[in-house]
Amino acid sequence: MAVPDPLVLAIHEDTNANAALVRGTEIVAAVAEERISRRKYQAGFPTLAVAEVLRLGGVRLGEVGAIAAGNRYHFVPRLLGSAAIEGEHDLFGLLHNAWSVFQSGLRTEGAAARAVEAVSSVMLRHRFGRPVTLHDHHTAHAYSAYYTSGTDTALAVSVDNLGDGWSARAFRCAGGRVEPLWGSDATGSPGQFYGEISQFLGFHVLDAGKVTGLAARGDPAAAYPVMERLFSLDPKGPGFRLAPVRSKLWRRGPFRDLARFSPAEIAAAAQRRLEDVIVAWVRRGLAETGARDLVLAGGVFANVRVNQRLWGLPEVDSIFVHPAMSDQGIAVGAALAHVTTAGPRPPRRIRDVFLGASYSESEIGDALEDDGLRYERPKDLEAAVADLVAARKVVARFDGRMEYGPRALGNRSILASTEDAGVNDRLNARLGRSEFMPFAPSTLAEHAANCYLDYGPGADLTSRFMTITFDCSDWMKAASPAVVHLDGTARPQVVHEADSPSYHRILRLVFERTGVPSVVNTSFNLHGEPIVCSPRDAIRSFGAARLDALAIGPFLVRGN
């Protein structure tokens, strides 16, 4: 009888702190600290997430075979405990720019880098009472993408703000091995560029996705020449180049020139420039490796329009974006990197992202009773939900294990009819959101090819996790105006019955009632809060948002 692989516990403790438990190449549990602490983008040590993944795995800390951590040099969060480093998120500030320069110097792995890594190791050993192996930030991203893609040979690309001295790295992947090729240092960062534009427009840098939505409302040509001065490929090597720091600290040069354009024009030009430069950089890696399969992770690949541009390249046969492409995926990547230190393994195609907590019927019932809510238990809850959606009611759904990563994929989602073009404004008002993007659709896999022009087998896996946009067919535009953006694209979750049988059945029943194979799927949370985790989170958010119904476990609560 084969001996099972030992469990590996892994953590990430910068912004978006998280923990994961992995056995071999199977992810047993993965949870972000924010879901439990209820503080969005929670930074610092993931105390609650560590306890949660151990609970979900049914083990104590002493029973895990090894402990790993993402980031070799990010020691500052350990010194500050769980405090968020808000100064680090002021991309125009001296602190962040000094931090980028310092981090960039560490990528050479000289004496200073070794000293910082030693300090990190000592601190972690003291906390856990045993050795902890440290793994490079971008290498962890690469492992998270490659080892969950099920693809043997690929180019892995990690692009974000910064991590362990780099802002981006490319890797050759084959036969279970991940080989670093080249990268861009922390001072030449695509994430920094897009974050600066986000901050310039008045958004928090961690909400830079709003720039993507706003971009569809503007003409990219007007401000594009300024963006060329702000962000470009480095002519001296395989990296990126940003505007000089002095132009940021005092908003001089190109940043002053941006002031004459509208916010939509700025966003459109920034989006187009990000796409153009990232596409050129990735094409270099594809040409050098000869790979035709592309696997991606890092916060920049939360930008679904960039991902669509890459999918459209003639030299790309398949594209996969790790479902937790942001730093919420670092713990999983560090665990997978640790597992393979003893030798390469075949990459395992990720089945689903339902890797968090679930709650029993009695726990859900107790929460409903404690809140004094009137509820019923329909004989066919899925049919009841489909009836409500078909009648253009808004239904919050709480069922099964919580999703891993930034997307709600049916288990912690708010559902509505895609035929109702006005639902965006009404629901954003109820949830306290001010979004530019339309809501995303969940679409039956059996009908995806009729809805999305560039959907195909090579993008099937990533489309299951709402990580790419597709051009919509004319039929989709007419039938589902609530989920089609101004540029004619949508960011779907393509739902297969094997992945989520109950959710798939709801969509099928909606299709039988309306002839439309999609529903609106937006995350179940209020503005400024993480996606709900527990029944009590769900009940509170449902009441505050004044939704029409809540399907929670086997129960249905109807709004007033």
User: Which DSSP string corresponds to 280-349?
Assistant: HHHHHHHHHH---EEEEESGGGG-HHHHHHHHT-TT-SEEEE-TT-SGGGHHHHHHHHHHGGGS------
| CA–CA gap between residue 37 and residue 45 (Å, rounded) | 12
Q: What is the pLDDT of residue 80?
A: 54
**Average pLDDT over every residue of 113-139:** 92
**Average pLDDT over every residue of 267-278:** 98
- Cβ-defined contacts of 356-360 (< 8 Å, 24+): 356/29, 356/30, 356/31, 356/35, 356/52, 356/56, 356/401, 356/402, 356/403, 356/404, 356/533, 357/31, 357/52, 357/56, 357/401, 357/402, 357/533, 357/534, 358/400, 358/401, 358/402, 359/534, 359/535, 359/553
Question: How sure is the predictor about 86, in pLDDT bands with cuts at 50, 70 and 90?
Answer: very low
| CA–CA gap between residue 472 and residue 449 (Å, rounded) | 10
Percent of the chain with pLDDT strictly greater than 70 = 95
Q: What is the pLDDT of residue 409?
A: 98
* Same fold flag, 7-147+327-342 and 361-558: no
| CA–CA gap between residue 397 and residue 146 (Å, rounded) | 31
What are the pLDDT digits (tens) for 336-391? 999 999 899 999 999 999 999 999 999 999 999 999 999 999 999 999 999 999 99
| CA–CA gap between residue 452 and residue 121 (Å, rounded) | 48
More confidently predicted of 438 and 515: 515
| CA–CA gap between residue 403 and residue 354 (Å, rounded) | 5
| CA–CA gap between residue 443 and residue 507 (Å, rounded) | 7
Type of residue at 310: L
Percent of the chain with pLDDT strictly greater than 90 = 78
Fold held by 361-558: DHBP synthase (3.90.870)
More confidently predicted of 460 and 79: 460
Fold held by 7-147+327-342: Nucleotidyltransferase; domain 5 (3.30.420)
Q: Which CATH architecture has domain 159-321?
A: 2-Layer Sandwich (3.30)
Structure tokens at 509: 């029943």
How many other C-beta atoms lie within 10 A of the C-beta of residue 3?
Answer: 5
pTM attached to this predicted model: 0.95
Q: Quick check: 500 pLDDT over 80? A: yes
Domain boundaries, the chain: 7-147+327-342, 159-321, 361-558
Question: How sure is the predictor about 84, in pLDDT bands with cuts at 50, 70 and 90?
Answer: very low
Q: Quick check: 250 pLDDT over 70? A: no
What are the pLDDT digits (tens) for 524-536? 999 889 999 999 9
* 8 Å CB contact between 15 and 206: yes
Q: Quick check: 83 pLDDT over 50? A: no
